[in-house]
Structure 1
């Protein structure tokens, strides 16, 4: 590989991308003393600090931004092509920003959580020494699974950035959107194909089946409920009779039942985000315990931990657009709005205006209704409920620095 290509990867992502999407927020360096994720009791739990200290415990920062990926020709080419999209407002630029920027919405922490649960649970005594990364306290196969988790999630988010250019959406006179679609499609396919190769190399048929079902759930999430013509999700029309959401299936390898949840605020929100996030994180945590040789009972608890943490995380994110001074569009399937629609069904006529495009929705009117209604408080309760459920599972693991780090991440999500 030529020297210019070797240097292109880190330069492309760390210099070219910020040209397109803004200056990167640098993470503050920790003090010389590693505190092993013991947050100071007098300070409010902080997400960035919790993640930063958790990375020290596994000795392994975000795998997607590791040198192995930064130095690849394919990633370097993606970065160069992204530069050509500057000014086009293609959704792929926003996704790229999420890969580099710090904050609760970053995608990089998913692999970290898989590694932390791996280290917290340990492994059985029959695992060969050559399979163990003794310095990090995890198995080499578990590290590979953490990378697979990040690649699957990232490829899904990149694919979601495709723009519908079919008539009557004649919005691409310059060809920039078509070019962005090609980059989004090919780069997402590249990551997904690499994740399949990594997964196959682990030579574990049960794990392949488990992670394949997670990919199926991610795909199915794109077909739940009504959508506008750009495939932006819209909430289903509220029903008067509420149902309590359950797993709907005894085996988490089976597809979830969709029809029973639509129109019931909490059930629909939970279903959407189990498919879109909770399934992948939960099954990754379940899979990493499978690799460590743990019992099926503990594997199931790993799934519940990942699922509840993902839902708590999503509830936290859903509340952000309604903080004081917020403005602009927000997800129409966020929990605060769905609870508000359930409380005032007549507001659904404003959702119906977005059937062609969500740009026709009066977001400020809906924001005011959410702030004045019970939606935010119910979402806060939902966030607390899933945080406590994740913490309950976590407390069944032996005390360790990794368990403390996960508890700090849960606390940072719960207190946000």
Structure 2
């Protein structure tokens, strides 16, 4: 039971670096969000998108149909790891945190169920693998049920494990030794214990993903995915941060033109775009495709990840969700900062802690500015770029599933 509960924790993690500040660790908690804002495409794969455009696409249904195309649900990609004694023990210890405020419980809950299947990186890797096909592969290397290579399936597992390990690592809390004196000992013990579980569980999943990646015996692929892990770590150093490492917009330069797009893109290419892009590139490399096709795979993954993140950002602002505090560098806010830097007066309250920010007031200011509209355009732009890449591949169920996912990302 406990292993079955924890195994869904793995489905979204990237590696993080723990920053020392004063005498404490400084990390970033999980950002749990919901999908928003339907958008439409013109003149791009019109035949494939006709149904998706004319009907409200259900995200979970889209993902379920996509899973059928590759032959099995993504949630079972690494079941053999997640049923291990180590993870069972972690799940047992996790029970001790029930009733505490530790964000690791929130991380687990959001991964297990948040109303949507959002752990889709591995599924996207499998779909693009099937859409592209493979060249000169020996029959023994092919997973005939899924229509992909065994090595491609292993890569999909690795990517999901890396993504999940990162989210778990982000569940650590920065315990400031100077402030801890005013905290009840039981609460402090819970925070310390939760940090240990998050650190060890994330490390365990990450180390397993590294072992699996090395077992593929492909030096170029190892270098590629390692560089994506490096980018995930570097994402923790982009933008100003509060005392829990949540991002805060920086002061824009005197010439603010392009400030928002540059800062937001940098943060999110490091945070997600690089991992998905290089995963798609890597799976095409395993299939023997040319450098040109591999480059197209990278572009597809990067633009899809950026469209996805922009949609998440928009959803937080439209729903007036307090989780926006964990991402004050969301696209609508960044666009508004570029338009009117005076909003930084309100956001500067978050330099010590984002919890100090009156998020409802901030979102009211955002709603009256151009940030919402510009974010919708941003979603459309990256979605169209991802859709255009699909033209490289011949028409198939896998390609159609990918186009449906792109459309579904914009659904409320």
1:181 CA drift (Å): 0.1
Q: For the aligned residues, what is the CA RMSD?
A: 2.2
Runs of 4+ aligned residues of structure 1 deviating over 3 Å after TM superposition are: 11-14, 36-42, 63-67, 102-105, 324-330
2:230 alignment partner in structure 1: 216
The TM-score, its normalising length taken from structure 2, stands at 0.85
1:223 CA drift (Å): 0.7
Tell which has more relative contact order, 1 or 2 (C-alpha 8 A, sep 6+). 2
**In structure 2, do the counterparts of structure 1 residues 67 and 351 end up closer, same or farther at CA, with 3 Å as the change threshold?**
same
**In structure 2, do the counterparts of structure 1 residues 352 and 37 end up closer, same or farther at CA, with 3 Å as the change threshold?**
closer
Contact 1:64/1:147 (8 A) holds in 2: no
Contact 2:247/2:329 (8 A) holds in 1: yes
Contact 1:328/1:363 (8 A) holds in 2: no
Contact 1:282/1:302 (8 A) holds in 2: yes
For 1:108-257, what aligned pairs fall within 5 Å after superposition?
108-124=119-135, 126-170=136-180, 171=183, 173-174=185-186, 175-242=189-256
1:274 alignment partner in structure 2: 269
2:56 alignment partner in structure 1: 44
Q: Which has the higher helix share?
A: 2
Q: Write the deviation string for residues 25-48 of structure 1: whole angstroms up to 9, x where unpaired.
A: xxxxxxxxxxx9996775212211
Contact 1:286/1:299 (8 A) holds in 2: yes
**Range moving further from structure 2, 229-238 or 63-72:** 63-72
**In structure 2, do the counterparts of structure 1 residues 150 and 11 end up closer, same or farther at CA, with 3 Å as the change threshold?**
closer
For 1:3-402, what aligned pairs fall within 5 Å after superposition?
9-10=3-4, 42-63=54-75, 66-103=78-115, 106=118, 108-124=119-135, 126-170=136-180, 171=183, 173-174=185-186, 175-242=189-256, 264-323=259-318, 326=321, 329-330=324-325, 331-402=327-398
Contact 1:37/1:50 (8 A) holds in 2: no
The TM-score, its normalising length taken from structure 1, stands at 0.84
**In structure 2, do the counterparts of structure 1 residues 93 and 135 end up closer, same or farther at CA, with 3 Å as the change threshold?**
same
* Long gaps (5+) in structure 1: 1-6, 15-35, 245-263
Q: Give the 3-state SS of the residue equivalent to 1:353 in structure 2.
A: helix
Q: Write the deviation string for residues 293-337 of structure 1: whole angstroms up to 9, x where unpaired.
A: 000000000000000000000000001122256556532010001
Contact 2:7/2:79 (8 A) holds in 1: no
Q: Give the 3-state SS of the residue equivalent to 1:410 in structure 2.
A: helix
Separation in structure 2 between the aligned mates of residue 204 and residue 361 of structure 1, nearest angstrom: 48
**In structure 2, do the counterparts of structure 1 residues 415 and 395 end up closer, same or farther at CA, with 3 Å as the change threshold?**
farther
1:59 CA drift (Å): 0.7
Separation in structure 1 between the aligned mates of residue 398 and residue 82 of structure 2, nearest angstrom: 27
1:395 CA drift (Å): 1.8
* Long gaps (5+) in structure 2: 9-47
| Aligned length, in residue pairs | 368
Contact 1:158/1:185 (8 A) holds in 2: yes
Separation in structure 1 between the aligned mates of residue 72 and residue 228 of structure 2, nearest angstrom: 24
**Range moving further from structure 2, 109-118 or 159-168:** 159-168
Contact 1:48/1:102 (8 A) holds in 2: no
